[in-house]
């Protein structure tokens, strides 16, 4: 039973085999595969591009695309687990060595991990659940010149439109504030920011 940092589960045999098969690639091929892999990790929505690049690679290197894709699917398990568990580059390298990857390739992969880790973890934070996320704020303010009750006034009003993401769609919330309410709102938000700043 392998002791791995990136997962507590027992890996299926084919995954271990797949990692060992990586040793068969030349240095150049491995570097290119690693590049394709990290590109996908950094832009997880580009799955079509990822598969296309793998197919191209397979064609250029005289191998079938299907097994290559299956291989990369196994390999992806490691960075996904490593990200979830905030692993360091050393730990990633140790896991790769445990899985049977040779020293050079393990070093290269973990170096890339070190380089890309800050962006990857920020991406993971960004993917974390947010409830009713505020996405946009628009405002206008003006002066009420007159109403049906008052022929002439000079009242300042502030109108805010907040755009909130609810699931897949956005909702607009409109509201009006008087000047004192606006100053109070600004004051409260600055207090919230001060509170947040304490933690970072």
Choice between 49 and 191, CB closer to another protein: 191
Instruction: Please tell me whether residue 195 binds another protein under the rule CB under 8 A.
Output: yes
Residue located via tokens 């390999």: 75
CA 63/CA 57 separation, integer angstroms: 8
Instruction: Please tell me whether residue 43 binds another protein under the rule CB under 8 A.
Output: no
Sole window of 30-38, 64-72, 99-107, 184-192 interacting with another protein (rule: CB under 8 A): 184-192
CA 154/CA 29 separation, integer angstroms: 73
What end-to-end distance do the CA atoms of the chain give, in Å? 40
Instruction: Please tell me whether residue 11 binds another protein under the rule CB under 8 A.
Output: no
Sole window of 9-17, 59-67, 104-112, 117-125 interacting with another protein (rule: CB under 8 A): 117-125
Q: Which residues pair with 130 in a beta bridge?
A: none
Q: Which of residues 62-81 bind another protein (CB under 8 A)?
A: none
CA 193/CA 174 separation, integer angstroms: 23
Q: What tokens does 34 get?
A: 């690693």
CA 56/CA 25 separation, integer angstroms: 16
Return the residue of 1, 13, 48, 131 that touches another protein, per CB under 8 A.
Answer: 131
Q: Contact residues for another protein (CB under 8 A)?
A: 83-86, 121, 124-125, 127-135, 137, 139, 141, 144, 147, 149-153, 155-159, 162, 164, 173-179, 181-186, 188-193, 195-196, 199-200
């Amino acid at each position: 039973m392998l002791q791995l940092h990136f997962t507590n589960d027992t890996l299926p045999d084919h995954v271990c085999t797949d990692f060992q098969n990586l040793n068969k690639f030349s240095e150049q091929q491995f570097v290119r595969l690693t590049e394709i892999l990290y590109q996908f990790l950094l832009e997880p929505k580009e799955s079509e591009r990822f598969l296309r690049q793998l197919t191209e690679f397979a064609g250029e290197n005289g191998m079938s695309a299907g097994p290559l894709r299956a291989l990369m699917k196994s390999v992806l398990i490691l960075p996904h687990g490593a990200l979830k568990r905030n692993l360091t580059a050393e730990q990633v390298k140790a896991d790769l060595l445990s899985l049977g990857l040779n020293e050079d390739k393990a070093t290269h992969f973990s170096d890339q991990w070190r380089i890309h880790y800050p962006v990857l973890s920020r991406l993971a934070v960004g993917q974390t659940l947010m409830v009713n996320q505020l996405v946009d704020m628009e405002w206008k303010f003006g002066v009420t010149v007159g109403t049906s009750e008052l022929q002439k006034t000079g009242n300042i009003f502030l109108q805010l439109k907040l755009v909130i993401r609810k699931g897949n769609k956005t909702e607009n919330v409109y509201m009006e504030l008087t000047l004192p309410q606006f100053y109070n709102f600004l004051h409260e938000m600055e207090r919230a920011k001060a509170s947040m700043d304490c933690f970072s």
